[in-house]
């Protein structure tokens, strides 16, 4: 957001004695710009609301609460581990593979929690395994896994994967729990 002033236009008129004027009289506008501005802002607001309604509707339809499973990923400071990718398996099947951009890793460092996966599972016992790939201590390639068994009931299940720096072990620690 920057603002740049313009030179006084009458300066040009004074100099260009014989040249035709470069500035024409304004035509009286039929409507005020501010009314149009208000209308476009109302439209923008309506678009935001529409997006929200569609977003919620889509989630409700695609992932009903009775079958919904969501996996979140949170990260600590990341001193001992620079996250590169995560592979998620549910009941042995690959659910998602995710490669992280710098912006995404930065958002995780700043406290953000990513919803890594959302899907549908039948009710009963399930096994979730996450493989973390990145750069560990001493700048070495690092790959670790964490597993969690959980029971899917009528309610949606949320699982949180956490990467925490353990200062005592000088290593990253990977955990998984249901929320």
- 47 interacts with another protein by CB under 8 A: yes
Edge-to-edge strand ranges of the sheet holding 68-75: 114-120, 68-75, 157-166, 171-178
What are 11's two structure tokens?
Answer: 């300066």
Using CB under 8 A as the binding rule, whether residue 168 contacts another protein is answered as no
Q: Which is nearer to another protein, 168 or 179 (CB)?
A: 179
Q: Which of 92, 93, 167, 179 binds another protein (CB under 8 A)?
A: 179
Number of residues binding to another protein, judged by CB under 8 A: 87
- Which positions from 143 through 162 interact with another protein, judged by CB under 8 A? 154-155, 158, 160
Closest among 147, 48, 46 to 90, alpha carbons compared: 147
Position 125 contacts another protein (CB under 8 A): no
Stretch that binds another protein, among 14-22, 87-95, 164-172 (CB under 8 A): 14-22
User: Which residues inside 55-114 make contact with another protein, applying CB under 8 A?
Assistant: 55-62, 64-66, 72, 74, 84, 99-104, 106-108, 110-114
């Amino acid at each position: 957001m920057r603002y740049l002033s313009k030179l006084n236009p009458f300066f040009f008129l004074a100099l260009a004695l014989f040249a035709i004027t470069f500035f024409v009289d304004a035509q009286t506008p039929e409507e005020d710009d501010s009314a149009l501005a208000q209308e476009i802002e109302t439209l923008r607001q309506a678009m935001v609301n529409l997006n929200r309604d569609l977003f919620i509707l889509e989630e409700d339809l695609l992932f009903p609460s009775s079958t919904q499973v969501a996996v979140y990923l949170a990260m600590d400071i990341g001193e001992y581990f620079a996250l590169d990718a995560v592979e998620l398996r549910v009941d042995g099947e690959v659910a998602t593979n995710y490669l992280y951009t710098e912006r995404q890793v930065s958002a995780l460092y700043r406290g953000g929690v990513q919803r890594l996966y959302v899907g549908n599972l039948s009710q009963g016992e399930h096994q979730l395994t996450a493989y973390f790939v990145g750069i560990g201590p001493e700048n070495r390639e690092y790959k670790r896994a964490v597993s969690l068994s959980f029971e899917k009931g009528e309610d949606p299940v949320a699982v949180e994967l956490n990467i925490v720096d353990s200062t005592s072990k000088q290593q990253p620690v990977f955990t998984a729990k249901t929320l």
